[in-house]
Structure 1
Amino acid sequence: MSYMFARLIQKDIQKRKKFWLIISISVSIGLLVIVKYLGFLTSSISSLLSNLQLPVLPNLNIIVPIGISFYSFTVTGYLIDVYRDKVTAEKNIIDYALFVSFFPQLLSGPIERASNMLFQYKRTRKFSFENLKTGMIRFLWGLFKKMIIADQLAIIVNNTYSVLPDSSSLNVIIAIIAYSLQIYIDFSAYSDMALGSAKLLGLDIMENFDSPYLSSSVRNFWRRWHISLTSWFKDYLYIPLGGSRCSKIRHLTNILIVFAISGLWHGASFTFLIWGIINGIYLIIGQVLSPVYSKIKEKVKINESSRLFLLIKGVFTFMLISFSWIFFRSEDIEQAFMVIKTGFTSSQPLLNYQQIGINTNNLIVLGISLLLLSYVDVFTRRMDLISEINKKLWLTYAICLALIISVLIFGVYGPGYDPIDFVYFKF
């Protein structure tokens, strides 16, 4: 249907273009709302009716297709770009279907733009040994991150959350930090594997992360986290709402609206909504206090480029983001507040090692792997690390072999382990 709507938007007279755009977006977003949010809405209304001792609505057990949020936004962005004359409506339905359903990015992004992908499908592609090397390293690096780091962290997080409120404060704090690392490493691992798979096919898809935990502010974090979604909201929601080119109150309201909707995009739950609002509030506070902060810097003569100052800002940013992840990870609001309460007021011993859930050897492997990841993140920002590796063929082979052996020996799989899906598969 979106294929036909895009053709209508482009071909019809100017007066009717907007009509077709509204209809097409209503269909694409409407299906997303019905499938993903109708059950949440009816259950929320039923809870309210139950409290008022009134008859409740029937439960709607709607099966949500995997990745629906991603391809709904891909289609919507394409339709808007056609309306804005940024791209030409695709005539070849096969190329269009491939754009919407390209398998590496279908389940968890990145949310690609037609302007970046459609022309790639049309060009003649030949086998490239360079693409093979780059694609293999990127894919195997993602697999390493997922199976050795993210899935180990998931065990720590799941074990702690499963025994609340009987965890110690330190266990909960460790779990909060572990989840902050898990969700980044898990999601970026999928993105690495998607980029690697696409590269093997001779296609280039956009980077979705830029070492976000090296950010020195929440604003900077959101420029480097889930880049495809952040840019989508900026181009198709934030700017149409007025962006920053409006009154101060309107500007701050726009920020809050975008982050609230971003939260709901992730899931039909009040926890996701609160997570989005918290991050919106962080940015609003940053905007409001920016003049005060500038005056303090001038008076105190803070050297913003000093490593100590950047480290302090980075740690503070990580703490703020980690706090918001509590709501993202929790099954409901009650569990989120239980995590917060237990993290500060638990009467349990300082650390319960049994609740961590992984043995000493695995902790050592996890620690070494996290150090390696930190090293790669830092140096990737300074240079094209994969290109440097590919200059020496023996080094490419050695790294690929080392990653494969590491996953086989240290990866989380086999008897006693439940397979752990990528976190963003459920969105």
Structure 2
Amino acid sequence: MLFNSLDFLIFFPIVTILYFLLPQKLRWVMLLTASCIFYMFFVPVYILILIFTIIIDYISGIYIERLQDKKKKLFLIISILSNVGILFVFKYFNFFNENMAYMARLLHWNYPIENLWILLPIGLSFHTFQSLSYVIEVYRGHQKAERHLGIYALYVMFYPQLVAGPIERPQNMLHQFYEYHSFDYKRVTSGLKLMAWGFLKKVVIADRLALFVNQVYNNSSEYTGFTLIVATVFFSFQIFCDFSGYSDIAIGAAQVMGFKLMTNFRRPYMSKSVAEFWRRWHISLSTWFKDYVYISMGGNRVSKSRWMLNLMITFLISGLWHGANWTYIIWGGLNGLFQVISYITRNVRRRVTGALSLEKLPRLYWILQVSFTFILISFTWIFFRANSMADAVHIISHIPEGLLDTDVIRAQLAELGTMGFDKYYFILSFILIIIMEGVHLLEESGKNMWEILSTKPAIVRYTAYYILILTILLLGEFGSNEFIYFQF
């Protein structure tokens, strides 16, 4: 079920009302049933995959806690292999199979294995990682094994974050399903406001930007220079608004019922470095890789060369997690490489900063750092969004064309009209981005938009709320626009 659908508009209030009306002992039953219904709106039969992994991990967790040493490790391996095995079959088999077939053709070998023609279960990578975090935490002794099968199933399937996160840890979520959450007006309205802000980012900003981005990136060979730059910048904001919008709706929906999900985004485009960007972007996934991959390899408690290798491996795996395509692997590798280069050049950059006396101009220095980081991140997004490596190479190689020729830029602007986009489309898109980034600047200074509004007279507050709702209804792009991260 899509958050931006009429089905959810009916589903959400019914589930929420039932949650508060039912006695505590029945709430988990209702939530688990609702979560199953929510997931089965996509491909109903795929819920069997979830049931299979839930049972395997539930049993494994209990035996990991009971047993010692090698036997304990055996059940950890069983759990990991079952989860990763399912992920490999549905998400990565065809990718590896195609690459093996390509190598076989180069070597003139016979390679008879065909691709699998199966759909990728929605959100498979997300609930797989959430399940793995449970068994790993039990194995490490940081979490007691959950004995209540229904509660454990709800931990994996809780509908707000089931298909696109945040990827939760058992320490944060399991105990919340046992707690009694009463109706709290302030908490409920706070959650609804966060959901509204998420809908604004998704259906008004992200889906509006997508109209242009899809046209250009799906026909990249037809465009050059200014048009490619605009499409790339628009995609940077599209993917942020799309994914952070989902997270806001998920966190807000859970908050309405009294559940607290972890923050998944913290104004990432205000970052002064790529490393800082990854402390602010998709935090639940970044910390997952840090806790279970990066630190397991030694993290930064090793030699500098080994640390760089650990960092690169982590980001390459992160790229592969996002998709079975070389474009995603290159995207992940670039994010790791930029951080390695940043470390290697740190002394040179300090000397340049000192020579230019940028420390005496902190605001200008901050703007330069944020702008340069945004350019680097936007460059990596080219690989993330491009349909193929060939498209990505074409876009990068053709971006410089005509950038210094005003006649070419004027012609490209005129061409936008033939694509169905007039100047008002661009003005509106830029205004929406500026408003959103203005809110982020406010938050960077330690202030909160909703708290500021709460201090204003009722007429001011409700006027702002009505404007927000009307903007969503009048300017939103409604339909079957899935969230970008559903494919992962």
TM-score class, shorter-chain normalisation, is over 0.9
TM-score in terms of structure 2 length = 0.83
Matches within 5 A, 1:35-184: 35-56=90-111, 57-184=113-240
Aligned-partner Cα distance in 2 for 1:399–1:240 = 48
Task: Tell me how far 1:248 sits from its aligned partner.
Answer: 1.0
Q: Which residue of 2 is the match for residue 402 of structure 1?
A: 467
Aligned-partner Cα distance in 1 for 2:239–2:222 = 24
Task: Tell me how far 1:390 sits from its aligned partner.
Answer: 4.2
Q: Is the 8 A contact 1:67 1:108 kept in 2?
A: yes
Q: Deviations over 1:278-309 (max 9, x none)?
A: 11100110111123323444455430761111
Secondary structure of the residue that 1:22 maps to in structure 2? helix
Q: Which residue of 2 is the match for residue 361 of structure 1?
A: 424
Task: Report the AA paired with residue 273 of structure 2.
Answer: S
CA shift in 2, pair 1:357/1:10, >3 Å: farther
Aligned-partner Cα distance in 2 for 1:283–1:393 = 47
Task: Report the AA paired with residue 163 of structure 2.
Answer: L
CA shift in 2, pair 1:357/1:257, >3 Å: farther
Q: Deviations over 1:247-266 (max 9, x none)?
A: 11100000000000000000
Q: Which residue of 1 is the match for residue 449 of structure 2?
A: 385
Say which of 402, 424, 427 aligns to 2:485. Answer: 424
Aligned-partner Cα distance in 1 for 2:436–2:349 = 33
Q: Is the 8 A contact 2:334 2:380 kept in 1?
A: yes
Q: Is the 8 A contact 1:137 1:396 kept in 2?
A: no
Aligned-partner Cα distance in 1 for 2:360–2:295 = 30
Task: Tell me how far 1:87 sits from its aligned partner.
Answer: 1.2
Aligned length: 423
Q: Is the 8 A contact 2:318 2:332 kept in 1?
A: yes
Q: Which residue of 1 is the match for residue 60 of structure 2?
A: 5
Say which of 340, 344, 349 aligns to 2:408. Answer: 349
Q: Deviations over 1:394-422 (max 9, x none)?
A: 35544432222111111113xxxx63211
Aligned-partner Cα distance in 1 for 2:248–2:418 = 31
Q: Is the 8 A contact 1:152 1:358 kept in 2?
A: no
Q: Which residue of 1 is the match for residue 243 of structure 2?
A: 187
Q: Which residue of 1 is the match for residue 26 of structure 2?
A: none
Matches within 5 A, 1:297-336: 297-303=353-359, 306-336=362-392
Instruction: Answer with 126-135 or 292-301: which moved more.
Output: 292-301
Aligned-partner Cα distance in 2 for 1:162–1:15 = 51
Task: Please state if 1:212 is matched with 2:271.
Answer: no
Q: Which residue of 1 is the match for residue 33 of structure 2?
A: none
Task: Tell me how far 1:48 sits from its aligned partner.
Answer: 2.5
Q: Is the 8 A contact 1:171 1:356 kept in 2?
A: no
Aligned-partner Cα distance in 1 for 2:420–2:342 = 38
Q: Is the 8 A contact 2:218 2:387 kept in 1?
A: no
Secondary structure of the residue that 1:345 maps to in structure 2? coil
Aligned-partner Cα distance in 1 for 2:69–2:218 = 57
Q: Deviations over 1:223-252 (max 9, x none)?
A: 101000000110111011000110111000
CA shift in 2, pair 1:37/1:68, >3 Å: same
CA shift in 2, pair 1:238/1:376, >3 Å: same
Aligned-partner Cα distance in 2 for 1:22–1:293 = 45
Task: Please state if 1:242 is matched with 2:298.
Answer: yes
Which runs of 5 or more structure 2 residues have no equivalent in the other structure? 1-55
Instruction: Answer with 61-70 or 348-357: which moved more.
Output: 348-357
Q: Which residue of 2 is the match for residue 370 of structure 1?
A: 433
Q: Which residue of 2 is the match for residue 16 of structure 1?
A: 71
Secondary structure of the residue that 1:349 maps to in structure 2? helix
Task: Tell me how far 1:60 sits from its aligned partner.
Answer: 1.4
CA shift in 2, pair 1:357/1:313, >3 Å: farther
Task: Report the AA paired with residue 321 of structure 1.
Answer: I
Aligned-partner Cα distance in 1 for 2:193–2:389 = 40
Task: Tell me how far 1:386 sits from its aligned partner.
Answer: 2.8
Matches within 5 A, 1:244-323: 244-303=300-359, 306-323=362-379
Aligned-partner Cα distance in 2 for 1:132–1:263 = 37
CA shift in 2, pair 1:204/1:398, >3 Å: farther
Task: Tell me how far 1:368 sits from its aligned partner.
Answer: 2.2
Task: Tell me how far 1:426 sits from its aligned partner.
Answer: 0.4
Q: Is the 8 A contact 2:220 2:395 kept in 1?
A: yes
Task: Report the AA paired with residue 438 of structure 2.
Answer: Y
Aligned-partner Cα distance in 2 for 1:304–1:9 = 57
Q: Is the 8 A contact 2:64 2:138 kept in 1?
A: yes
Task: Tell me how far 1:366 sits from its aligned partner.
Answer: 2.1
Task: Tell me how far 1:367 sits from its aligned partner.
Answer: 2.4
CA shift in 2, pair 1:356/1:109, >3 Å: farther
Secondary structure of the residue that 1:303 maps to in structure 2? helix
Task: Report the AA paired with residue 133 of structure 1.
Answer: T
Task: Tell me how far 1:379 sits from its aligned partner.
Answer: 1.8
Task: Tell me how far 1:94 sits from its aligned partner.
Answer: 1.3
Task: Tell me how far 1:89 sits from its aligned partner.
Answer: 1.0
Secondary structure of the residue that 1:228 maps to in structure 2? helix
Secondary structure of the residue that 1:313 maps to in structure 2? helix
Aligned-residue sequence identity (percent) comes to 37
Instruction: Answer with 225-234 or 48-57: which moved more.
Output: 48-57
Aligned-partner Cα distance in 2 for 1:43–1:411 = 39
Aligned-partner Cα distance in 1 for 2:84–2:204 = 37
CA shift in 2, pair 1:9/1:397, >3 Å: farther
Task: Please state if 1:33 is matched with 2:97.
Answer: no
Aligned-partner Cα distance in 2 for 1:316–1:29 = 37
Q: Is the 8 A contact 1:3 1:90 kept in 2?
A: yes
Task: Tell me how far 1:202 sits from its aligned partner.
Answer: 1.0
